[in-house]
Each structure stands twice: as structure tokens, then as C-alpha cells.
A and B are shown apart, each in its own frame.
Chain A
Amino acid sequence: MISLKKAVPAARRAPEAARIRGVQPGDLEQIVEIDAGITGLRKAAYWGEIQRRYGGGRQQRFFLVADRGGRIEGYVVGDVRDWEFGSPPCGWVFGIGVRPEARLSGIATQLLDAICDGFRRLGVGKLRTLLARDDPLVLSFFRSQGLMAARFIPLEKDLD
């Protein structure tokens, strides 16, 4: 059948939906590249260690990626933390990143939803994270997902 619809140029087509899946060893290079693009630091050894400790569907640990046609568009890492400073088990996200060119297409939301589903399956009812207050982009994202100030306050000091 011949479609009478005018072909939409590739650049204007809606992007293919990303598939959220567990990290695989072959994803590491792209994850290092995404993180380096955001932070300016290339941390291959760190990500190798994170993959070793959080990859492979380990109990209470999650390392998920957004895969669009073989290209990794983003990642999220987190775990369930039990009774830290008296807090009942909570889902903790300590890393999330999306390629700048893939932003505003819902990738981070998909990643966060997926890790939250994982936390829920483990019976966790609270999501927590720690963000730099001078990083409005990431702060705004988590705020848009409904996160509010926690009853815990992060504190730090310089060690002499």
C-alpha cells in the first residue's frame, strides 16, 4: 500500500523509545564517555569498579542503562541502604547521567522510574539522593520527579 503521507525527515521524527536494561560490560566505555561529558573527568577505573559491584543484577543493587538502538543514552546507579543513621531501608540513587543531546526526551525519567520499580519490588517505600545545590539542572530534574527536602541534612568538614 502506498502511503499518501509525506515522509517526515529523520531529524524531525520522534526519537525511538529507549529500552531500560541492566548494564553490560560492553556498555562501560559509553558510560565513561557520558559521565566525562558531564563532569569533565574521565573515570574509567571508577566505573569499572561500579560495574563490578553494582552490575549483574546483584541483590539490592541497580546499575541500569537506557539503550536506544545500541547506543547508551544514559545510566542510573543506586542501591537499597538499610538502617543508615536509624533510617528504615530506602532506595538510594547516587548516580544518574544522560547524554546532553538526548535530554528533554524523558530518558532520565524512564531510568528513575525503572530503578524505583526495582526498589519497590524490594519492599522499599522511600527514594533518596544527594545533590549539589549549585547544580540546578539535576536538582530541577529530581524536584520535577516529586522529591522534597529530606529529614536528613548532609554535613561535611574539611579534614586537616
Chain B
Amino acid sequence: MKLQKNTLLALCSVLEFAARPGAQLSAAEIAQKYRMSSHHLAKVLRSLGRAGLVRAARGAGGGYRLAGNTRRVTLMDVIELFEDISAPRSGARRAGRRVKAESGATAFEVEDAIGVVLAEIDEIAKATFRSITLETMLKLVERRRS
């Protein structure tokens, strides 16, 4: 599964907030760390805000902070805001005739079988994203640092 740039940015952002509970972080601060435009990041943060994952504070010293519980919010909670996770794999399940061919498999049957394998991969990816909370991710970051 390849994630879009916005999704990756959203994941990095919520992990930044999760790593510093209570702290207000500005979009510029995060954008600089991940070498992204703050304009682009602001859009991502607005989506996270609408979903109730981050909360914005206005004015001097304002910024964003995590609104969710790091032990409850999973990677999937963030990913599903930016990715169409319910969409079937493109080209894998093209509508086609289900009529059995005289000899050999039809295009539909071959594509259907490929779709089964790709769906299996997607299901595993989704289960993985659903099972990893922000707190677990922070632990993983720490383990990989040491």
C-alpha cells in the first residue's frame, strides 16, 4: 500500500503532537522539520481538526495540539481521512463476462484471481494500521533510535 504525501504528512504531524502532549506546535515548526510547505501542511491540519484529532489555538503562541488519546488513536484513524481505503484495486476487478470460456480462463477470471490476492494484501495492511496506536508508534520510534 502506497500512501499519499498528505497522509504521510498527517501521520508525521499527529506523531509530533503525540510526542509532546499539551504543547502547542505551529504548522511552520512541523513543516520546517519535515521540509514541507506550511501552506500545504495547514490544509492537512485543517482536515485533522475537522476530524477532531487535533485542536487549534489562535493568537500569539497559538498552534495545534493533539485532541485524541494516544492510546486510542490508531494509524488507521488518520489514514482513512486521506485515503479511499474502501476502493477496490484499480484494474483488478474490471466488470466482465462471467461466462466460462471453452478453453482457458476468461479475462474476468484471471483479473478476479489477481484481485483476490491484492485484496488479501490490502486487508493485512488495514489490520496493521488499525492495530497500531500513536503511543505504540512513539515506542517504535524510540526503539529505533536506541
Contact = CB atoms under 8 A, between A and B. Distances in A.
Interface residue tally of chain A, by bracket? 10 to 19
Nearest to B130: A136
A149 B131 CA distance: 12
Contacts, number: 31
Task: Classify chain B's interface size.
Answer: 10 to 19
Given A140-B74, A146-B139, A146-B143, A133 B132 contact: no
A143 interface: yes
Looking at chain A's contact residues, the main secondary structure is helix
B133 interface: yes
A144 interface: yes
B101 interface: no
B143 A140 contact: no
Contacts of A134: 127
A2 B94 CA distance: 79
Interface in B79-131: 123-124, 127-128, 130-131
B16 interface: no
A139 interface: yes
B78 to A, nearest CB: 15
B136 interface: yes
B133 A133 contact: no
Given A133-B123, A133-B124, A143 B131 contact: yes
Interface of B: 71, 74, 123-124, 127-128, 130-133, 135-136, 139-140, 143
Interface of A: 133-134, 136, 139-140, 142-144, 146, 149
Given A139-B127, A140-B132, A140-B133, 4 more contacts: A136-B74, A136-B127, A140-B136, A143-B132
Top 5 A-B pairs, shortest CB-CB distance: A133-B127, A139-B131, A144-B136, A143-B136, A143-B131
